[in-house]
């Protein structure tokens, strides 16, 4: 094997150059292996985990995901319609609103 | 007189006399390693130099891992949620039509609505849905009833169909409730027997969903026979959905509100980006802090020791010193960034991970398990690496560059003082 006869190759054990080199190589090999695994996992991961969800979406005609709890606007996109004037919401009738409170009163 | 410890490896000499000859295989490995650090002597010197400052090296490694992991998880989650929502909703209806009146949503006549929708050119299929929100034992739940559309056959293959008085529940409800009976309250109150649970893998679409018989759904929401909650419409091509909206709107004799598939998918994408954006705000000062730490550590290593002066006095060139500093930065940076990438990837793409639900989407008791798409993940990770690695390298190399071009006498004198 061709190997240059450099001084560091003949280092004494106390120099720790050999062990440093080994540690460095191991760290780099670990990094490359981890990156390779990451590439492989992201490239070959099958979408089989989503088959049931896709069936359910198709079967029920869902257009929303359950990422947030029921009852919140993001749960059913499009259901909170801004064009509906909430002044006509029957539930608002329970709140005692007095219009006179909203009028600015200028003191004499 | 200052004492300078001269590295023994740099001096020529033979192996210690008490070294016993190792076995042949071990000799080969040792030889290969020796060959490596003969070819790249600065690499071994860099690693050894880092081991002289173990605490700084480990802390720098950990802070970089944490930064990459947090930033990576935020970026990946945003990207993966958007892509998964797009994929899952690919089979959703092209347009959902809801009838509105001044009080809000109102039920629409099923057969007449389907007939009117089909009459619009471009519509290839139309159906109705019966659904709504009901108060369950742990808070609001989404209750879905089946109608007589073609979609029933698809569902029947994987989900047990509930009969009258029965309910099939999502995993979020199943884990909350130990009882076999479910009480739902909306316009009316129903007590249903739980006969099945949806698969955990449907958690992203039906975590807190209850499937009931359509008659039960109508009774629960006070919807009269022959009426439905809303109308779903399919078009041949997705781009047609936007084009037919005016025609579809004119086809109905009552005011309607329509949501296209593209709108629904876009809302999830922007919502996840907005939530992850909170993390980005915290990341900017964190990156600055990392850059200062890196600068401080490497500057400290250079100026607090007389190494640079010593190396230059021994004949090292400016390039040698700069290369060693670069290797030191890479020996910490590459494993740290890789570890951070692996951690963030694992956090986001581990099948069934549920932490984003608690952290970003307001779930309290049981969060939906996520099964996210990995497409585009590598590109996102590369962006993060560039974002973090370039400032890191700049912060690490700047003090080295300044030290490498300075006079070695200054370092040796500063050490003496």
Contact status, residue B150 vs residue B189, Cβ threshold 8 Å: no
Disruptive mutation site among B15, B27, B47 for chain A (greatest number of A CBs within 10 Å): B47
Q: Which residue has the higher pLDDT, B10 or A57?
A: A57
Among B133-147, B234-248, B294-308, the minimum mean pLDDT is found in B294-308
Chain mean pLDDT for chain B: 79
Helix, strand, coil percentages in chain A from 3-state DSSP, rounded to 5: 60, 0, 40
Q: What is the mean pLDDT of residues B260-266?
A: 86
Q: How far apart are CA B117 and CA A58, in angstroms?
A: 19
Q: Give me the pLDDT at residue B416, please.
A: 57
State the Cα–Cα distance between residues B182 and B162, nearest whole angstrom.
Answer: 13
Percent of the residues in chain B that have a pLDDT greater than 70, as a whole number:
81
Q: Which of A10, A25, A56 has the CB atom closest to B12's CB atom?
A: A10
Give the range among B115-129, B278-292, B341-355 with minimum mean pLDDT: B278-292
The shortest CB-CB distance from B93 to any of A41, A61, A79 is to A61
The pLDDT value given to residue A106: 56
Which of the four pLDDT bands, split at 50, 70 and 90, describes residue B281? confident
Residue-level pLDDT at B411: 67
Over range A84-94, report the average pLDDT.
44
Query: Residue B7 pLDDT more than 70?
Result: no
Contacts of B261 (CB under 8 A, 6+ apart): A63, B89, B92, B93, B94, B95, B238, B241
**A93 touches B: beta carbon within 8 Å:** no
- pLDDT for position A104: 58
Residue B221 has pLDDT above 60, yes or no: yes
Distance from CA of A105 to the nearest CA of B (A): 32
Q: Identify the pLDDT of residue A87.
A: 46
pTM exceeds cut of 0.90:
no
The answer to whether the Cβ–Cβ distance between B345 and A5 falls below 8 Å is no
Report ipTM for this prediction.
0.73
Ranges of H-type helices in A45-103: 51-60
User: Which DSSP string corresponds to B123-150?
Assistant: EEEEEEEEEEEEEETTEEEEEEE--SST
Q: Which of B19, B35, B38, B137 to mutate to test the interface with A (most CBs of A within 10 A)?
A: B38
B257 with A81: Cβ contact below 8 A: yes
| Closest in B38, B47, B157 to A6, CB measured | B38
Q: Are B100 and B106 in contact (CB under 8 A)?
A: yes
Asked if the model's pLDDT at residue B324 lies above 60, the reply is: yes
Contacts of B264 in chain A (CB under 8 A): 63-64, 77-78
Choice among A6-15, B95-104, B185-194, B335-344 with the minimum mean pLDDT: A6-15
Q: Is a pLDDT exceeding 80 seen at residue B327?
A: yes
Chain A residue closest to B6 (CA)?
A: A15
Q: Nearest CA of chain B to the CA of A102: how many Å? A: 24
Mean pLDDT across A76-102:
52
Hey, are the CB atoms on A70 and B133 less than 8 Å from each other? yes
CB contact under 8 A, A41 and B345: yes
| Of the candidate ranges B34-38, B261-265, B285-289, the one whose mean pLDDT is the lowest | B34-38
pLDDT of residue A2: 45
> What's the pLDDT score for residue B305?
56
- The strand pairing partners of B233, in sequence order, are B95, B126
Specify the higher pLDDT residue, B54 or A103.
B54
pLDDT at B115: 93
Interface test with B, best of A4, A5, A9 (most B CBs within 10 A): A9
- As a whole number, mean pLDDT of residues A29-46 equals 85
Q: Give the pLDDT confidence score for residue A32 in this predicted structure.
A: 92
Please, which pLDDT band fits residue B84 given cuts at 50, 70 and 90?
confident
The lowest-confidence range among A43-52, B253-262, B289-298 is A43-52
pLDDT of B177 reads 52
């Amino acid at each position: 094997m061709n190997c240059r006869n450099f001084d560091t190759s003949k280092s004494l054990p106390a120099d720790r150059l050999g062990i440093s080199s080994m540690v460095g190589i191991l760290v780099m090999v670990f990094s490359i292996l981890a990156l390779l695994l990451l590439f492989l996992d992201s490239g070959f991961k099958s979408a089989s985990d989503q088959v049931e969800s896709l069936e359910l979406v198709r079967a029920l005609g869902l257009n929303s995901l359950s990422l947030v709890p029921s009852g919140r606007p993001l749960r059913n996109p499009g259901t909170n319609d801004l064009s509906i004037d909430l002044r006509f919401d029957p539930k608002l009738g329970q709140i005692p609103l007095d219009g006179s409170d909203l009028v600015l009163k200028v003191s004499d | 007189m200052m004492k300078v410890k001269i590295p023994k490896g740099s001096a020529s000499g033979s192996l210690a006399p008490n070294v016993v000859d190792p076995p042949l295989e071990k000799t080969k490995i040792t030889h290969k390693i020796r060959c490596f650090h003969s070819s790249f002597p600065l690499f071994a010197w860099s690693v050894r130099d880092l081991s002289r400052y173990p605490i700084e090296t480990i802390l720098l490694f950990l802070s970089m891992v944490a930064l990459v992991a947090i930033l990576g998880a935020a970026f990946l989650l945003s990207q993966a949620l958007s892509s998964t929502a797009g994929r899952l909703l690919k089979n959703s209806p092209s347009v959902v039509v809801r009838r509105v009146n001044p009080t809000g949503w109102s039920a629409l006549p099923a057969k007449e609505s389907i007939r009117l929708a089909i009459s619009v050119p471009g519509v290839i299929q139309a159906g109705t849905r019966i659904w709504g929100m009901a108060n369950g034992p742990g808070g609001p739940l989404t209750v879905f009833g089946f109608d007589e559309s073609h979609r029933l056959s698809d569902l029947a293959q994987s989900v047990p169909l509930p009969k009258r008085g029965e309910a099939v529940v999502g995993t979020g409800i199943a884990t909350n409730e130990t009882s076999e009976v479910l009480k739902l309250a909306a316009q009316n109150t129903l007590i249903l027997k739980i006969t099945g649970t949806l698969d955990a893998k449907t958690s992203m679409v039906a975590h807190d969903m209850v499937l009931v018989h359509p008659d039960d759904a109508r009774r629960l929401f006070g919807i009269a026979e022959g009426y439905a909650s809303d109308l779903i419409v399919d078009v041949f091509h997705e781009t047609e959905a936007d084009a037919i909206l005016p025609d579809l709107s004119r086809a109905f004799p009552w005011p309607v509100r329509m949501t296209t598939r593209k709108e629904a998918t876009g809302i999830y994408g922007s919502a996840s980006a907005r939530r992850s954006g909170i993390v980005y705000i915290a990341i900017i000062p964190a990156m600055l802090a990392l850059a200062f730490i890196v600068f401080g550590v490497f500057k400290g290593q250079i100026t607090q020791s007389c190494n640079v002066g010593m190396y230059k006095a021994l004949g090292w060139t400016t390039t040698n010193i700069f290369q060693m500093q670069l290797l030191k930065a890479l020996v910490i940076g590459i494993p740290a960034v890789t570890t951070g990438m692996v951690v963030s990837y694992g956090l986001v793409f581990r099948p069934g991970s549920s932490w984003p639900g608690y952290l970003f989407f307001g779930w309290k008791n049981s969060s939906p398990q996520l099964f996210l798409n990995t497409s585009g993940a590598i590109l996102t990770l590369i962006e993060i690496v560039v974002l973090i690695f370039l400032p890191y390298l700049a912060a690490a190399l700047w003090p080295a560059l300044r030290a490498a071009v300075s006079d070695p006498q200054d370092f040796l004198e500063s050490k003496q003082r």
